[in-house]
Amino acid sequence: MNPMNRFYLCLSAAGLFFIFASAGCDNKGTAPVSGKVKFKDGSDVSVLAGYSLTFEAEGIKTSAVGEVAADGTFKLSTYGANDGALPGKYRVAILPPANPDPDKPPTKSKILGKYGDLRTSELNAEIKPGRNDIELTVERVP
């Protein structure tokens, strides 16, 4: 191969590498995800403020996390704040906030214990490319 052709081939390959490498730098393939946690009985969800959500993907080794606000809303983060989640099917767990004082007992959950474990929560979500709005319905502790 002619040295000049080799130079242009290498330059083209380097340019393509740069384009493809930088194309995913912004969100790494995540889709924006926001949602709301609701009680099955329709009662006030403000008691869930500070609860954490974990979305564990099926088939890919990634997860997304979020925190419930006083109005029950949340946004998911995977690689950075509020960047969303990778498209796919997820199992979901919701946990009460940790007690800030380690010498005191853990915070008593306002929702059934099953929601704190991905295997038993029965909460699932599918994240699709583009904007996603997820609604999760949970039951209060009796």
Q: What is the pLDDT of residues 21-45, one digit of tens each?
A: 334 445 689 999 999 999 999 999 9
Cα–Cα dist 132/67, whole Å: 16
Q: What is the pLDDT of residues 95-138, one digit of tens each?
A: 999 888 889 888 899 999 999 999 999 999 999 999 999 999 99
Percent of the chain exceeding pLDDT 90 equals: 70
Residue 75 class from Cβ within 10 Å (0-12 exposed, 13-18 middle, 19+ buried)? middle
Cα–Cα dist 100/18, whole Å: 46
